[in-house]
C-alpha cells in the first residue's frame, strides 16, 4: 500500500540503483533528480562506499546536501566533506574481528573515517589482494596503508567497518564465527559486490561487520530528526542487502527490478532495472503521490 502522506525525503542507494552497470548516472535519471528537487523533495544518497569512493558521483549530480556513506556509519555534509555523524567500532572489537579474519586466511579491510585517519583503508595481513580489491583500488582514488598483523596497527577510534572480499561460499563460516564471538555488539553480513563481480567475472562477495544497529535506516532516522521530518514522510530505494532496513522501514520502500529478492519482499513498490533508467520511475511515482495529497 502506498503512503498517504507527502514524501519529503528520498534516500537512494547508488550501485545497482541510481548507477548503471558502468557506474554512471544516465541523463534520464539525472533529470529525474532535478525534477524531484524542484518539487521540494530532498534527495540524499546512501551508499556502502566511503565518501572518496563516491565523490565523483555526488559531483556529477551536483549534490550539495547530506550523504550517508559507509553503510550508515558516517553522514557527511557533501559541500565540504565534513562528518556530521560518526559511528565507529570499538577498538577491541576491531582487533578481535581482524584476528578472526586472519585465522580464516583473509585480509582484513578496515574502512576508516578518512577525515580523522588520513587514509581510507587499513589493510591487515600479508596476503595478495583479491582481484576485486585490486580492481576497486585501481579505479577509485582510494588511499590505503598495509600492516602485517592487527598487532602492528594502533586500533584507534577511526574504523567504521571491518570487512573482507572473497567468493560467497567461503564467507558464510567467517560471518558465523564473527557473530558467535561478537554478535551482541556487531552485525555481520556478506552479499554480492555487484560492481566488482561484473568487472572481474566471478561471484565475489563483500563481508561487512558494523556495530549492531548501524545501518542506512538508523542514519536516515538521525537525518529525519535534524530535518524535522516524520520518518513516515520518507522514501528509500535500493537493490542490495545493505538497503534492507531502509526499504523495510521507510514510509515508501522501493525496490529496483534487479533487486535482491529479500529487498523486493519488503518493498511497497517496484521500479525498473538500473540499466534501463529504472530510477527515473521513482520521480514519477513520488510525483503522483505528492500531487494526490496537494
Question: Phi, psi (5° rounding) for residue 181?
Answer: -80, -35
Mean pLDDT score, 213-220? 97
Give the pLDDT confidence of 122-132 residue by residue, as tens digits: 999 999 998 88
Q: What is the DSSP string of 201-229?
A: TS-EEEEEEEETT-SHHHHHHHHHHHHT-
Give the pLDDT of residue 209. Answer: 97
Task: Please classify residue 103 by burial: count the beta carbons closer than 10 Å to its beta carbon, then call 0-12 exposed, 13-18 middle and 19+ buried.
Answer: exposed
Give the pLDDT of residue 200. Answer: 39
Give the pLDDT of residue 193. Answer: 58
Looking at residue 15, which CATH number applies to its domain?
A: 3.40.50.1000
Give the pLDDT confidence of 110-151 residue by residue, as tens digits: 999 999 999 999 999 999 998 888 988 998 999 999 999 999
Together in a domain, 80 and 226: yes
Together in a domain, 185 and 122: yes
Look up residue 150 and give its three cell numbers: 592487527
Residues facing residue 192 across a β-bridge: 205
**CB within 8 A of 138, min separation 6: which ones?**
none
Give the pLDDT confidence of 171-203 residue by residue, as tens digits: 999 999 999 999 999 999 987 755 444 443 447
Helix (H, G, I), strand (E, B) or coil at 267: coil
Query: Range of 110's domain?
Result: 91-211
Together in a domain, 104 and 200: yes
For the chain, what is the mean pLDDT? 93
**CB within 8 A of 276, min separation 6: which ones?**
none
Question: pTM higher than 0.85 for the full model?
Answer: yes
Q: Where are the alpha helices (DSSP H) in 47-90?
A: 51-60
Mean pLDDT score, 243-251? 97
Mean pLDDT score, 11-37? 96
Distance CA 12, CA 250 (A): 11
Distance CA 254, CA 50 (A): 23
In the chain, what is the straight-line distance between the N-terminal and C-terminal CA atoms, in Å? 19
Give the pLDDT of residue 168. Answer: 80
Point out the domain boundary residue: 174, 193, 211: 211
Give the pLDDT of residue 17. Answer: 96
279 located within any domain: yes
Amino acid at each position: 500500500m502506498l503512503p498517504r502522506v507527502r514524501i519529503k525525503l528520498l534516500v537512494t542507494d547508488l550501485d545497482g540503483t541510481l548507477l548503471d552497470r558502468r557506474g554512471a548516472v544516465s541523463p534520464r535519471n539525472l533529470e529525474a533528480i532535478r525534477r524531484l528537487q524542484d518539487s521540494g523533495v530532498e534527495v540524499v544518497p546512501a551508499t556502502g562506499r566511503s565518501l572518496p569512493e563516491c565523490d565523483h558521483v555526488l559531483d556529477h549530480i551536483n549534490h550539495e546536501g547530506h550523504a550517508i556513506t559507509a553503510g550508515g556509519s558516517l553522514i557527511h555534509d557533501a559541500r565540504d566533506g565534513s562528518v556530521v555523524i560518526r559511528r565507529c567500532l570499538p577498538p577491541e572489537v576491531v582487533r578481535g574481528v581482524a584476528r578472526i579474519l586472519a585465522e580464516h586466511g583473509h585480509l582484513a579491510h578496515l574502512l576508516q573515517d578518512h577525515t580523522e585517519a588520513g587514509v581510507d583503508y587499513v589493510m591487515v595481513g600479508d596476503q595478495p589482494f583479491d582481484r576485486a580489491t585490486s580492481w576497486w583500488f585501481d579505479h577509485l582514488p582510494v588511499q590505503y596503508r598495509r600492516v602485517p598483523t592487527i598487532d602492528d596497527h594502533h586500533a584507534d577510534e577511526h574504523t567504521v567497518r571491518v570487512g573482507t572480499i572473497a567468493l560467497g561460499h567461503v564467507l558464510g563460516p567467517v560471518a558465523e564465527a564473527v557473530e558467535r564471538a561478537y554478535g551482541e555488539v556487531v552485525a555481520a553480513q556478506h552479499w554480492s559486490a555487484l560492481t566488482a563481480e561484473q568487472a572481474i567475472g566471478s561471484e565475489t562477495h563483500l563481508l561487512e561487520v558494523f556495530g549492531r544497529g548501524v545501518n542506512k535506516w538508523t542514519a536516515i532516522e538521525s537525518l529525519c530528526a535534524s530535518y524535522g521530518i516524520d520518518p513516515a514522510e520518507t522514501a528509500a530505494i535500493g537493490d542490495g542487502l545493505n538497503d534492507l532496513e531502509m526499504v523495510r522501514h521507510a514510509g515508501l520502500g522501493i525496490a529496483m527490478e534487479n533487486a535482491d529478492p529479500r529487498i523486493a519482499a519488503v518493498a511497497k513498490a517496484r521500479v525498473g532495472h538500473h540499466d534501463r533508467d529504472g530510477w527515473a520511475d521513482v520521480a514519477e511515482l513520488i510525483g503522483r503521490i505528492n500531487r494526490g495529497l496537494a
